[in-house]
Amino acid sequence: MDILRPDSLEAARAALKNGSVALAGGTELVPLLRDRIVEADTIVEIRHAVPRGIQGTRIGAGTTLGELEVDPQIPDALREACRLAASPQLRAMGTIGGNLLQATRCWYWRLKYPCWLHGGGRCFAHEGLHREHAVFANAPCASAHPSDVAAALLALGATVRTDRRELPIAELYRLPTGDDRRMTGLEPGELILELEVPMPAASTYLKAMDRKRFAFALVGVAAARSPEGTRLALAGMAPIPWLLEDESALDEATPLPGNAYKLEIARALIRRALVAVAP
């Protein structure tokens, strides 16, 4: 396995061809490589290719969660989502770009059970253990999207700028289908460069986990109020970050036998989030 350290975006683009993979903080990628869930013959470190830092409403994809959690300028929902994610050590390394592209924490998937998302025929979580899994859009794959940050950005209505296009964050994600089981719509080698995060009138992020800190969201609720209205988005509730019309949309969920409790938590957190962002 080779590692390349291109010093410009152009050089990085050239290096990112078939068989190579982009590395930012490496907190997600390195374990996946070690477990051979991701196979690559070349690793392209993109530190010098992707902007880092916060300028007004623009956030470089290479900015770490640790930098974001202490920034007083960014919307509360994003700052809270960063602060409540992972651990201080991981936030010091992990970037926001990498966070948006992290894979599911489904234990079957991480342990390489030959499940549907790995290209197999069935979802082990459905018949097996799924307390951490999705309650929306959970067939054929019930994995839950782990990113707190993505839920916050979805509620905030952020835009993603890549080296080839701009797209609303909602379009970064797609539900997997039988013939294309990816969860993001990025092209091979496409790099996220920046996020444009509009400033809301008020926003918040609430997270329920199995312990006080350093756990993925069982339920994450982001709410942001802007002149157009209040938007709600969920982490840990669907295979991708999930936009929710309002609290009553929870009734459309299709929980599995072992995870209906998530809806009860979501209901409480949504009410609290709405109170928090109310004028």
116 near ligand SF4, rule: CB under 6 A: yes
Among 2, 10, 39, 127, binds another protein (CB under 8 A): 127
Instruction: Give the side-chain half-sphere CA count within 13 A for 37.
Output: 22
What would the two tokens of residue 106 be?
A: 């489904």
Q: Would you tell me which residues interact with ligand FAD (CB under 6 A)? A: 21-29, 46, 50, 61, 65, 85-86, 90, 93-95, 97-99, 101-102, 146-149, 191-192, 216
123 binds ligand SF4 (CB under 6 A): yes
Which is nearer to ligand FAD, 126 or 184 (by Cβ)? Answer: 184
Q: Does 193 bind ligand SF4 (CB under 6 A)?
A: no
Cβ(25)–Cβ(93) under 8 Å?
yes
Is residue 142 part of the contact set for ligand SF4 (CB under 6 A)?
yes
> Is residue 136 at the binding interface for ligand SF4, with CB under 6 A as the rule?
no
Is the omega angle on the peptide bond into residue 140 within 30 degrees of 0, that is, cis?
Answer: yes
User: Strands across the sheet with 54-55, in order?
Assistant: 54-55, 58-60, 192-196, 159-162, 166-168
Strand intervals (E) in the chain? 2-4, 20-23, 42-45, 54-55, 58-60, 159-162, 166-168, 192-196, 202-208, 219-226, 229-235, 242-244
User: 213 is in the binding site of which of another protein, ligand FAD, ligand SF4, none (Cβ under 5 to 8 A by kind)?
Assistant: another protein
Residue 160, SS3 per DSSP: strand
DSSP 161: E
Query: Taking Cα atoms as reference points, which of 14, 64, 55 lies closest to residue 191?
Result: 14
Residue 131 is a binding residue for another protein (CB under 8 A): yes
208 binds another protein (CB under 8 A): yes
Q: Closest approach of Cβ 114 to ligand SF4, in Å?
A: 9
Candidates 10-18, 23-31, 54-62, 114-122 — which segment interacts with ligand SF4 by CB under 6 A? 114-122
User: Residue 13 — φ and ψ, nearest 5°?
Assistant: -60, -40
Examine residue 265 and tell whether it contacts another protein (CB under 8 A). yes
Give the phi and the psi of residue 182 in degrees, each rounded to 5. Answer: -75, 155
Residue nearest to ligand FAD (CB): 98
Task: Enumerate binding residues for another protein (CB under 8 A).
Answer: 105, 107-108, 110-111, 113, 124, 127-129, 131, 208, 210-216, 218, 258-259, 261, 264-265, 267-269
Residue ranges binding ligand SF4 (CB under 6 A): 104, 106, 108-109, 115-117, 123-125, 133, 141-143
